[in-house]
Structure 1
Amino acid sequence: MTQAPEVWNSAYDNDTAPWIIGEPQPAIVELERSGRIRGRVLDPGTGAGEHTIALTALGYDVLGVDLAPSAVAYARRNAAAKGVPNARFEVVDMVALAESGDNPLGAFDTIVDSALFHVFVEAPEARAAYVRTLHELCEPGGHVHILALSDSEAGFGPRIGADMIRAAFAGPGWDVEELRPDHYYGRITEVVADSAADLTPDESGKVELAAWLARIRRAD
């Protein structure tokens, strides 16, 4: 099973989330610069809201969603502090949406998943439900971009192999157009200190972790 909202809430309430670095992931920033983000955008597992905030500031129609109410509260405070009070966030369980038969969010041209997919590494049923939700929410011809921690190097957090991404999107309705190594940046907090003992933060306190970056098109 995946972790309950209360577990995620604690990471935000106690400032122990290793994924909060105060800025968007460079890999996601590069997606926008290269023209890979278009139309209506969904940011599932928005966390601190950095990608929703950055894209909203650039003029995109973006919605950030997260399972944890504390994450959404944090993201809204973060947006206000960064001068982007119109950034939109909602509490949404992406796994539960697959079983509800309801879609209150509408359809999106681009879905940007930064560090959500990999949390289902040991939860195949939840992973499959999440992918069904992505298919429901993504417009035909639209794209899902996934930035996930890689098991190719030592690190912390739920790390996965490229084969898990390929297998999850191998069914009808998807086309994996690109899947390549990239990097994800985090910080060392008390919850990952033991597994991060061999990592050296840079001058800003961030650590670089191996990741996968996938571009997946929803087939027409």
Structure 2
Amino acid sequence: MSVPLETWNAVYDNDSAPWVIGEPQPAIVELEQAGRIRGRVLDPGAGAGEHTILLTRLGYDVRGIDVSPSAVEYARRNAAAQGVSAARFDVADALRLADAEALADDGGTPQFDTIVDSALFHVFGEDPESRAAYVRSLHAVCKPGGLVHVLALSDREPGIGPRISDTVIRESFTDGWEFEDLQPARYIGRVTDSVAEQAAGLEQVNGRVSVAAWLARYRRI
């Protein structure tokens, strides 16, 4: 992974992650309400666990994974505090999902009907090898006909974090994928020290910013 594990652990240990807003992203909530999430669900890069908690509460069979042990512990505490004890989180590398023992079904490769990526894909935006490995990893654990949703920060206007173009998304999901949709969206972030400079010129409301994003949907062939 292009970001050191120690960095991921630190932002959860210090509660300084700008993507931890204390609730699910509205774009993901809307996906569920639109009926775009079904079956067994994977939440890669689950972070604070808000989307796994939401979907578990709604009755989905969902697994949240993160490469950071600190993130997983944070998510478990978060789920307990929200009274969603059934939410499941495990440490796993998103670049090697097929090898994740925590996700294996009876010793076989895990298979999911829906994968919901909220703000993980863009982390690999400037690292083509990791980006390609991640897309292959998703393909390996997504059932044929299954859907992958990608909510990624967009470079179409000033924002925070690692922002990417829609072209990067389109060029990454090619072999083994059928394009369904890619639309502008919004992403809510928390202004912490790590993004304070980027956020200085943005409208802030209660320490939050709403920034441009992409919401893409691909079907696994």
Match runs of 1:94-113 below 5 Å: 94-97=94-97, 104=104, 106-113=110-117
Return the match for 1:174 from 177, 200, 210: 177
The structural deviation recorded for 1:101 is 9.7
The question of 1:115 aligning with 2:119 is answered: yes
Letter matched to residue 154 of structure 2: S
Alpha carbons of 1:208 and 1:121: their partners in 2 closer, same or farther (altered >3 Å)? same
Structure 1, gaps ≥5 residues long = none
| Partner SS, residue 164 of structure 2 | coil
| Partner SS, residue 191 of structure 1 | helix
Match runs of 1:1-220 below 5 Å: 2-97=2-97, 104=104, 106-171=110-175, 173-202=176-205, 204-219=206-221
Partner Cα separation in structure 2 for residue 209 and residue 163 of structure 1: 18
- Number of matched pairs: 216
TM-score, scaled to structure 1 = 0.95
Letter matched to residue 47 of structure 1: G
- Asked whether the equivalents of residues 182 and 211 of structure 1 are also in contact (C-alpha less than 8 Å), the reply is yes
Letter matched to residue 157 of structure 2: E
**Cα deviations by residue, 1:49-86 (Å, 9 ceiling, x for unpaired):** 00000000000000000010000000000000001011
Q: List structure 1 segments (4+ residues) > 2 angstroms apart after TM superposition.
A: 100-105
| Partner SS, residue 55 of structure 2 | helix
**Cα deviations by residue, 1:158-194 (Å, 9 ceiling, x for unpaired):** 00000000000122x1011000100000010011111
Percent of paired sites with the same residue: 64
TM-score, scaled to structure 2 = 0.94
Higher mean alpha-carbon deviation, 162-171 vs 108-117, is at 162-171
**Cα deviations by residue, 1:5-29 (Å, 9 ceiling, x for unpaired):** 1100000011110000000000000
RMSD value, Cα: 1.5
- Asked whether the equivalents of residues 9 and 71 of structure 2 are also in contact (C-alpha less than 8 Å), the reply is yes
- Asked whether the equivalents of residues 187 and 201 of structure 1 are also in contact (C-alpha less than 8 Å), the reply is no
Letter matched to residue 126 of structure 2: E
**Cα deviations by residue, 1:122-163 (Å, 9 ceiling, x for unpaired):** 111011000001000100000000000000000110000000
Partner Cα separation in structure 2 for residue 101 and residue 115 of structure 1: 21
Structure 2, gaps ≥5 residues long = none
Partner Cα separation in structure 1 for residue 100 and residue 149 of structure 2: 24
